[in-house]
């Protein structure tokens, strides 16, 4: 069984306050994009084995894929196993959710292959145990996330636009970004809510969306600002950092303009990728490349 684990971007992120459980209360629009890791699942009698083509990444219990498979196996409650091959294309430490997406696809794929019979609601509960973004990747498309980011509400109006991703050569730790965040007292913003409820003629609201975590990455903020400005000068209608960074997103009206912008950035020595957002329908249609080979206990 072969599957794609797509990346995400954040179309705006607001941090409201620190909760009693130590996490932060968030409002964000999560959006899948056409950049993906590939996972191949082969059934075996028992045990979870993971092979990763990036030697810098863990392949044991530290990897969310292994954690997801182990959690699902426990929930199923009978001997199951799989060998998993992971081909990485989504760079870690850029706020693109690659590890979370890999984990979510692992839950979906192995529930099929092992004939686990878990409902989407069951899988969402398991996903929430693995990390904040993991539940979103069970849905994909355009969704409002609240709480710690794990309460996900797919939106009726899905974003389908060209984008350019700038992928800096530095990474940013999510924990460090939140650790540096200084919350200021402010009135609740309605920008995300109005964008979420708009009929996506709401493109004209894109420039209003901001990411509160940009102010928390003071060491890298000058280069993030430069990348945003470059994208706007090259024709983007809006630009902001994705999640806790370091990827910077430019949103375009025209795919050809986006591709030209990416080429121009590459000529300057800036790593850039022209791609586009994925609606929930497209995301779910493309997620499986090869139908599951059913687990037979052998």
Specify the CATH number for the domain of residue 93.
3.30.230.10
Catalytic residue among 8, 34, 88, 228: 8
Same domain, 148 and 188: no
Residue 76, classed as helix, strand or coil, is helix
Between 293 and 83, where is the model more confident?
83
Same domain, 115 and 85: yes
What distances in angstroms separate CA 251 from CA 10, 38, 52, 121, 270, one per listed residue?
A: 12, 25, 31, 32, 17
CA within 13 Å, CB half, 43: 19
Same domain, 150 and 186: no
In a domain, 294, yes or no: no
Same domain, 133 and 17: yes
Q: How many CB atoms are closer than 10 A to CB 169? A: 10
Domain count, the chain: 2
In a domain, 293, yes or no: no
Same domain, 106 and 173: no
Each residue's pLDDT tens digit, 17-38: 778 776 778 889 999 999 999 9
Same domain, 145 and 21: yes
Of the residues 154, 189, 206, the one at which a domain ends: 154
Q: Is the pLDDT of residue 136 over 90?
A: yes
Per-residue confidence band for 297, with pLDDT thresholds at 50, 70 and 90: very low
Of the chain, the percentage scoring pLDDT greater than 90 comes to: 66
pLDDT of residue 205: 72
CB 229 within 8 A of CB 274: no
Q: Counting every residue, how long is the chain?
A: 298
Catalytic residue among 34, 37, 133, 150: 133
Segment 182-211 shows an average pLDDT of 67
Per-residue confidence band for 201, with pLDDT thresholds at 50, 70 and 90: very low
- Average pLDDT score over the chain: 89
In CATH, what number is assigned to the domain containing residue 270? 3.30.70.890
Of the residues 128, 154, 180, the one at which a domain ends: 154
Same domain, 14 and 95: yes
pLDDT of residue 199: 55
Q: Is 8 a catalytic residue?
A: yes
pLDDT of residue 16: 81
In a domain, 296, yes or no: no
Q: Is the pLDDT of residue 255 over 50?
A: yes
Of the residues 154, 171, 196, the one at which a domain ends: 154
pLDDT of residue 5: 98
Same domain, 113 and 250: no
Same domain, 29 and 149: yes
Same domain, 175 and 122: no
Each residue's pLDDT tens digit, 212-228: 888 888 788 899 999 99
Per-residue confidence band for 298, with pLDDT thresholds at 50, 70 and 90: very low
Q: Exposure string (b/e) for 88-109, b if CB count within 10 Å is 16 or more?
A: bebbebbbbbbbbbbbbbbbbb
Each residue's pLDDT tens digit, 150-179: 889 999 889 999 999 999 999 888 777 787
CB 293 within 8 A of CB 271: no
Print the domain residue range for 16. Answer: 2-154
Q: Is 169 a catalytic residue?
A: no
């Amino acid at each position: 069984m072969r599957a794609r684990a797509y990346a995400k971007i954040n179309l705006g992120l607001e941090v409201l306050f620190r909760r009693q459980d130590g996490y932060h209360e968030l409002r964000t629009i999560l959006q899948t994009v056409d950049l993906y890791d590939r996972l191949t699942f082969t059934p075996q009698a028992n045990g979870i084995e993971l092979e990763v083509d990036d030697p810098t990444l863990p392949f044991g219990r530290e990897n969310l894929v292994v954690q997801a498979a182990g959690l699902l196996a426990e929930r199923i409650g009978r001997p199951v196993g799989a060998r998993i091959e992971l081909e990485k294309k989504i760079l870690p430490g850029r706020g693109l959710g690659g590890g979370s997406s890999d984990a979510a696809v692992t839950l979906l794929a192995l529930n099929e292959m092992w004939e686990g019979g878990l409902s989407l609601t069951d899988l969402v509960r398991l996903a929430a145990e693995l990390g904040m973004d993991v539940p979103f990747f069970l849905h994909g498309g355009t969704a409002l996330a609240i709480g710690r980011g794990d309460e996900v509400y797919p939106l009726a109006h899905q974003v389908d636009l060209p984008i350019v991703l700038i992928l800096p050569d530095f990474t940013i730790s999510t924990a460090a970004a939140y650790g540096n965040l200084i919350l200021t007292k402010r009135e609740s913003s309605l920008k995300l809510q109005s964008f979420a409820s708009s009929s996506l003629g709401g493109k004209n609201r894109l420039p209003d969306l901001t990411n509160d975590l940009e102010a928390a990455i003071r060491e890298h903020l000058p280069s993030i600002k430069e990348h945003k400005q470059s994208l706007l000068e090259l024709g983007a209608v809006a630009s902001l950092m994705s999640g806790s960074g370091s990827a910077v997103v430019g949103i375009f009206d025209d795919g050809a303009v986006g591709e030209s912008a990416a080429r121009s950035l590459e000529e300057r020595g800036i790593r850039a990728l022209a791609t586009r957002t994925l609606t929930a329908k497209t995301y779910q249609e493309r997620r499986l490349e090869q139908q599951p080979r059913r687990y037979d206990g052998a």
